Every structure is written in structure tokens, then in C-alpha cells.
Structure 1
Amino acid sequence: MAAAKSGGITAYSVKTKTKNVPMVDPVIDVKSGRYIATGKDADGNKMAAIMSKATAESHIEAGNAKKGSGWSK
């Protein structure tokens, strides 16, 4: 679900029922051992995508997302 399409995080938009919608200003949080990217689409609808630790770290290193809460130092 959280694919790296053209460098950014994409997810499924439940409201518009479309796949691979790019997230605007995503933040990746760690909750219960899961890496969850939250953000909004271009229309302002909230979106979320669950991803692996490796994918989350690669998006942060590339500058596509910011670290949120739950990350250990």
C-alpha cells in the first residue's frame, strides 16, 4: 500500500476510492511496533498507510517524510 512512486509516499484514498494517491507532508509514527504514515492528499482528505521498518527508514532518509512519535533514539 505504501509504495515509493516517484519518491513520495502513496496510499489508497478511502474517500475518493482511488489507489496510489500521493501524500502531502507525511509523518511516520511508530505505534505498537507498526510504522504508520499519516498525511493528507491534495484535496485535504486524511490518509494513512502502514509500512515496514525498512520502507519507513528509507522514506525518512530520502526526505519524503518526517519522524513522528514513538521512534527510539
Structure 2
Amino acid sequence: MATEKGSGITAYSVKTKTKNVPMVDPVIDIKSGRYIATGTDGAGNKMAAIMGKATAEEHVKNGNAKKGTGWS
């Protein structure tokens, strides 16, 4: 689950097993009605986080993430 810490998107890193890792250059896609942010952590490990519509739109509006596929 994505959480908001400061101004960027943070998520759980499966590889390093740490919480609230900042996501670098996130892109939010809509797949099957779900908003999924994908990006990397500081070390280049891939990360993904699922969030709600309001949170996703807020991150795009603030410039924290880019729109990916599925946006109308």
C-alpha cells in the first residue's frame, strides 16, 4: 500500500524489506480499475504501489508522478 510521506510516493521494498522507501520517477497506470504506481528506489530496484483514485490524482496534480496508460 502506498503512503504519502512528505511530497513523494513511498512504498514497501520487497528486496530490501524496508517500509516507506521513496519511489524515484513514479508512473501511475490504471489497470483493471486500480491505480498502480511503478518506479524504482534509490538503488534501482523496481517497486510498485497500489493506491486509490484520489491519492493518484493528487500525486499527478502535485507533480510527484506522471500519468501512464489507462488515463482518459
TM over 0.5: yes
Instruction: Please report the TM-score for the alignment, with normalisation by the length of structure 2.
Output: 0.98
| Structure 1 gaps, min length 5 | none
Amino acid corresponding to residue 55 of structure 1 in structure 2: T
Aligned length: 72
Question: Once the two structures are superposed, what CA deviation does each residue of 1:39-66 show, in whole Å capped at 9, x if it has no partner?
Answer: 0000000000000000000000000000
Q: Which residue of 1 aligns with 2:64?
A: 64
Q: Under a length normalisation based on structure 1, what TM-score does the superposition of the two structures give?
A: 0.97
**Unmatched 5+ residue regions in structure 2?**
none
Q: Percent identity?
A: 81
Amino acid in structure 1 at the alignment position of 2:6: S
Moved over 3 A (4+): none
| Partner-residue secondary structure (3-state), 1:61 | helix
